[in-house]
Amino acid sequence: MSINTKTTSVAVAVVFSTSLLSGCATTQENEQLAGASLGAIAAGVTTGLLTGNVGAGIAAGVAGAALGWGAVKLIQHQTQQVRTVEQDQRLYGFAPATNKTLLKLNKAYASPDTISRGQQVTVYSDYSLSVPASQGNSAPVTYEWKLKKDGKVLMASEPAVRNKSAGGHQTNQPINIPKDAEAGTYVVETKLTSGSAYDVNQAVFVVR
């Protein structure tokens, strides 16, 4: 598909999706919903262009807007080293890298694991990184996450790359819960990539 054709398809999808979402609302509700929907769809388009799948990006944006996540701003994650290479090897038996970078997500959890609307949850992930000495014992790590409910992607971060030293690390990702979020179980899928190595884990929290 050419760039012009793809752009036209995106524009049609945005207009059509917004019309569907606002079809049964009052004029004031239409204005509020359209703003949230367009913001979410625009974010979805950006995600889609980054991943090469515009249709999936728009679908994620629409799903997020429909379930109250359309206007939520993404918060930058934080990361810190919590173990040396030797401590990491003793704790997890993680073998030293010889000719390629090794990466493993050890555990993930959300705190608090049950939360009310309008509050903030933080998702923690612990991972091990092993880098060959020939690479200076450090390597770039790409961090990404997706928020899902009932199998639908509501939010997706843009990839964030940071150079990390070999050893054990912890990331923490704050997520604001909108006041009109749908109650139920949410899943945060975290993906880390370094060179050809990658790993994925999940953390779960409940909105009541």
CATH 2.60.40.3880 is the classification of domain 78-207: yes
Tokens of 92: 């997890």
Is the separation of the CB atoms in 112 and 121 below 8 Å? yes
Chain centroid offset of residue 185 CA = 16
Tell me the pLDDT tens digit for each residue of 145-163.
Answer: 999 999 999 999 999 999 9
Quote the CA–CA distance of 74 and 72 in Å, as a whole number: 7
**Threshold 0.75, pTM exceeds:** no
User: Is the pLDDT score of 71 beyond 90?
Assistant: no
Residue-range domain boundaries for the chain: 3-66, 78-207
User: Is the pLDDT score of 59 beyond 50?
Assistant: no
pLDDT of 67 reads: 55
pLDDT of 2 reads: 45
Q: Which long-range CB contacts under 8 A does 28-35 form with residues at least 24 apart?
A: 33/65, 35/71
Mean pLDDT for the stretch of residues 161-171: 97
